[in-house]
């Protein structure tokens, strides 16, 4: 059996929103699996720090400035990555903003901002990088959705939940569009993960109640999410496209 690391050591992955949190865990697991990684973030200084943490030599990791709300930023990021590493095989659309504003208090401007970043950013990434991958005849796109997009959310706002639900549909649309070009498009939908974002949304006094509501009784592991992304990014994942992999402790069952 061929070692997956051997197969992927020449491949390049770009992760959006990778300077911290779940995005950094995903970038870390891809790097450990042998990928060269572009750590992209709207905060390029934070991205540079994260990139140095993954590879102090800078040989296998680069930092890229990327505001996912801008299609032009995706185009510039693609140019920077291909200039540095020669190609791009994997895109992980992870960057998102999370707001917990009560539904009846959400203004239209706030709603549009969240949807434009979360859903619009995923659309732009799939379109720009997907077009490039289709021309190359190979690619893997993994979109980070959420349990909130499946059950309407609990601790997150309606705009966040709606944007993540839209990502599930976009994943299917782009999967159909790109399947014949050798490009797969899949989504991962995490439930509550042991992460700074979840702890920021759920006060310490509410955490026991959250854990009690999760059938398995604990929060998810960010590194395991990263390992799922690695599986979907692998060359062997060619027969998996248009899917959503649920990681929610039993909170949502199909």
Write the CATH number for 30. 3.40.50.720
pLDDT score of 3 more than 60: no
Q: Rounded to whole angstroms, how far apart are CA atoms 186 and 232?
A: 7
Could you tell me if residue 199 is inside a domain? yes
Sheet containing strand 244-247, strands side by side: 61-65, 36-41, 12-15, 90-93, 139-144, 183-190, 244-247
- For 164-182, how does the pLDDT look when each residue is reduced to its tens digit (9 = 90+)? 999 999 999 999 999 999 9
Q: Could you read off the pLDDT of 7-16 as tens digits, one per residue?
A: 666 899 999 9
Handedness of CA 86, 39, 224, 193 (dihedral sign): negative
Q: Specify if 249 maps to a domain.
A: no
Predicted local distance difference test score (pLDDT) of residue 1: 36
Q: What is the pLDDT of residue 211?
A: 85
Q: Give the best-scoring range by mean pLDDT among 57-66, 191-200, 212-221.
A: 57-66
Question: Residues near 112 by Cβ (< 8 Å), separated by ≥ 6?
Answer: none
Is residue 45, in this structure, part of any structural domain at all?
yes
In a domain, residue 253? The reply is no
pLDDT one-digit tens code per residue, 134-149? 999 999 999 999 999 9
Q: Which two tokens stand for residue 213?
A: 């509501």
Number of domains into which the chain is organized = 1
The residue range of the domain holding 186 is 4-240
Residue 248 forms part of a structural domain: no
Asked, for residue 254, whether it belongs to a domain, the answer is no
CA distance 80 to 84: 6
**Tell me, what's the pLDDT at 39?**
98
- Is residue 250 one of the residues assigned to a domain? no
For position 62, what pLDDT does the model report? 98
- Answer yes or no: is 82 within a domain: yes
CA dist 48 and 218 (Å) reads 33
User: Using one digit for the tens of pLDDT, what is the confidence trace for 52-91?
Assistant: 999 999 999 999 999 999 999 999 999 999 999 999 999 9
Catalytic residue from among 35, 132, 138, 160:
160
Q: Is 132 a catalytic residue?
A: no
Mean pLDDT over 221-240 rounds to 97
Candidates 63, 57, 54; CA nearest to 34 is 54
Residue 5: which pLDDT band, with cuts at 50, 70 and 90?
Answer: low
pLDDT at 4 over 80: no
Rounded distance between C-alpha atoms, residue 223 and residue 169, angstroms: 25
| pLDDT higher at 82 or 209 | 82
């Amino acid at each position: 059996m061929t070692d997956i690391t051997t197969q992927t050591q020449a491949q390049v992955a770009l992760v959006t929103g990778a300077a911290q949190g779940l995005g950094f865990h995903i970038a870390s697991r891809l790097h450990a699996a042998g990928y060269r990684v572009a750590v992209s973030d709207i905060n390029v200084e934070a991205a540079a720090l994260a990139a140095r943490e993954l590879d102090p030599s800078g040989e296998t990791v680069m930092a890229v400035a990327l505001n996912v709300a801008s299609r032009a930023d995706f185009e510039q990021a693609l140019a920077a990555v291909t200039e540095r590493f020669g190609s791009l095989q994997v895109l992980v659309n992870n960057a998102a903003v999370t707001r917990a504003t009560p539904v009846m208090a959400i203004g239209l401007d706030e709603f549009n901002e969240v949807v434009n970043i979360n859903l619009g950013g995923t659309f732009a990434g799939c379109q720009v990088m997907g077009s490039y991958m289709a021309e190359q005849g190979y690619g893997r796109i993994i979109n980070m959705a959420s349990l909130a997009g499946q059950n309407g959310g609990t601790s997150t706002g309606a705009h966040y939940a709606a944007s993540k639900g839209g990502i599930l549909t976009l994943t299917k649309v782009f999967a159909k569009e790109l399947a014949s070009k050798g490009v797969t498009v899949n989504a991962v939908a995490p439930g509550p993960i042991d992460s700074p974002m979840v702890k920021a949304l759920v006060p310490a006094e509410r955490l026991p109640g959250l854990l009690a509501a999760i059938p398995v009784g604990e929060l998810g592991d960010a590194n395991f999410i990263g390992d799922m992304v690695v599986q979907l990014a692998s060359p062997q994942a060619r027969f998996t496209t248009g899917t959503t992999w649920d990681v929610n402790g039993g909170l949502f069952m199909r």
